Structure 1
Amino acid sequence: MVSKLDLYKVFWMVGREKSFSKAAKKLYTTQPAVSQSIMQLERELGTRLFNRTAKGVSLTDEGSLLFEYVHSSLNLIDTGEQKILEIKNLTAGELKIGVGDTISRHFLLPYLETFHNNYPKIKFKILNGTTFEILSFLKSGEVDIAVCNLPVDNQSFEVIPYIDIHDTFVCGEKYKSILSKPLDLEDLAKLPLIFLEPSSNSRKYVEDYLLSKGFKLSPEFELGSHDLLLDFAKINLGLACVTREFSLDYLNRGFVYEVQLKEEIPKRSIGVCYLKSVSLSPAAAKFVELIGERRL
């Protein structure tokens, strides 16, 4: 069955060529098939679209009016198809990522740089927040993927872990005396502690581990930034719970010192999450693939 769109394409070609036979050649079909399509369209619209003459055809007044609209519509369809092709080929489009400030700075930036160099026409939209917040962005469709601290316990998300990270405690010069031997958790709990805010996935992970060991901690300071944790420890306001891999600059420069624990906090991961129920855009799929390749 010929679709209404196919009928309009035939109508447009006849109107442009002013000939059924020339239109048939352009459409790689027969002249009778073109004539049949035009007659079907005229029946459905209840009006004559072409004047038939010995020299060819010309548009009626009604046909001329319809031709302008069909011409515009087919151009819009062609433009839409071209845009889709550009997106598929990564020569246009947008990549929307939800990520925390710390992960963005210490993990994501090299991947963003590589992706931008490879696909400079793709625009970035980066939304920052805690893991809870960026997963909310993911659920609402505000971002394509979330790059966040794991674990994430939600069956609606596809979760791909990429790198292992380790939670540890660091201190400044004032507390260097405690570094002479590994510290047990009981002694740790007696010291002034600096943690991220309670909504942080990192904070929850460490707190849950310490609770499993029978220790409920009451931090002296609760901060919204990993960098602030390091700065507060540096000026001797207490022991800060930080991510070792994201603190190497401060540790290597002697601004803070790592506290050895008798029982190390189990490692966790950073990874990518996206909705199982929604297909990734070509840009998002390529970005996830890039992270996987760089990891290998």
Structure 2
Amino acid sequence: MDIDLLKTFLTVARLKSFTLAAKELQMTQPALSKRIKRLETLVDSQLFDRVGSHVAVTEAGQLLRQQAPQIISDIEDTVQNIRDLSGKVSGELHIGTSHYIGLHLLPNYLEQYVDTFEQVDVNIEFIDSELAYERVLSGDLELALLTFPPQKDPRLEHELIWKERLAIVCHQDYDLAHEEEPLKQLQHYPCILPPAHTFPRELFEVQLANAGVSLGKVKTANYLEVIAKLVACKMGWTLLPTRLLTKPLVSLSSKQFLSDRDMGIIYRTNKTLSNASQELVKLLKSEKNI
């Protein structure tokens, strides 16, 4: 079966719209409709009920939606395994990375990898750590680079590459910075943290609880770089990697006050990595910063 048909089907099922799916896949809507029609002919079942501008997945479509990701993964793995028999490092390398790692840590290795393995087509997807975790588990991504969650899933290998020191920070002229014992006054000032139910937020909450810090008002922002900018505008205090600690931000905590955060590579325990992925893992582990 043509996996492009399955990928098109999954996109429509996720977006519940032929129009939005065609836009995301960068193809015309008639071309997308032909793909879906061809797939429906192959499985001899209607996969979508059209309701105005929206679509609903039929019972047959629900079954295909459950099994399609594994079918795609099995086909792609088989093709890659055949290519890897030659020992060559080639093909496509599709990885997910958190925004922070992709911006600050991965570039140190990426140029070297691309120069060394010119026959590998590297595709990088910037996504939140928790989503990358799910997509590696589902087989949609072969590996990902992210902040490790407090509770690691045993179905995944976790290769520790980076340990990074965290600090409690605020603007140097913020009232909190001039408190006699600022760490004991944190709950009286607003805190800016990543959104709830994200790996960084869970990690930060554990760190603060272990340090005996109680939170007062909590504001949220999506990326650490954005949080740093908001704190630089005197909107509150936060936890940041010391890499982002630049003027006018100052640290309120000692090196021993918080533990490091762990970041690295994840991939499925029951899957043999492609040659391209193995070489990336090898490169990262050879120069890991812990």
TM-score (norm 1): 0.64
Change (3 A) 1:255 1:282: same
Tell me how far 1:220 sits from its aligned partner: 3.6
Q: 1:124 aligns with which of 110, 113, 122?
A: 122
2:248 aligns with: 255
In structure 1, distance between residues paired with 2:187 and 2:173: 17
Change (3 A) 1:95 1:117: same
Q: Which runs of 5+ in 1 are unaligned?
A: 1-79
In structure 1, distance between residues paired with 2:255 and 2:162: 24
Change (3 A) 1:181 1:113: farther
1:239 aligns with 2:237: yes
For residue 141 of structure 1, what is the amino acid of its counterpart?
G
Q: 1:269 aligns with which of 253, 262, 272?
A: 262
Between Structure 1 and Structure 2, the one with more helix by share is 1
1:139 aligns with: 137
In structure 1, distance between residues paired with 2:170 and 2:161: 28
Change (3 A) 1:153 1:177: closer
1:105 aligns with 2:103: yes
SS in 1 for 2:185: helix
In structure 1, distance between residues paired with 2:156 and 2:84: 28
Task: Calculate percent identity across the aligned residue pairs.
Answer: 19
Q: 1:204 aligns with which of 199, 202, 211?
A: 202
In structure 1, distance between residues paired with 2:134 and 2:123: 16
Change (3 A) 1:199 1:94: same
For residue 270 of structure 2, what is the amino acid of its counterpart?
S
Bigger drift between 127-136 and 269-278 goes to: 127-136
Query: What is the aligned-residue RMSD (CA, Å)?
Result: 2.7
Matches for 1:87-102 after TM superposition, within 5 Å: 88-90=87-89, 92-102=90-100
Tell me how far 1:291 sits from its aligned partner: 0.5
Tell me how far 1:181 sits from its aligned partner: 6.0
Q: Which runs of 5+ in 2 are unaligned?
A: 1-78
Change (3 A) 1:121 1:217: same
TM-score (norm 2): 0.65
Q: For each residue in 1:227-283, what CA deviation from the matched residue of structure 2 results, as whole angstroms up to 9, or x when unmatched? A: 1111101111111221223x04xx1xx232122259611112111111000110110
Give the number of aligned pairs.
210
Q: Where in structure 1 do 4 or more consecutive aligned residues deviate above 4 Å?
A: 179-182, 212-216
SS in 2 for 1:158: strand
Q: For each residue in 1:49-84, what CA deviation from the matched residue of structure 2 results, as whole angstroms up to 9, or x when unmatched? A: xxxxxxxxxxxxxxxxxxxxxxxxxxxxxxx89x72
> 1:196 touches 1:224 (CA, 8 Å); kept in 2?
yes
SS in 1 for 2:182: coil
Tell me how far 1:95 sits from its aligned partner: 1.0
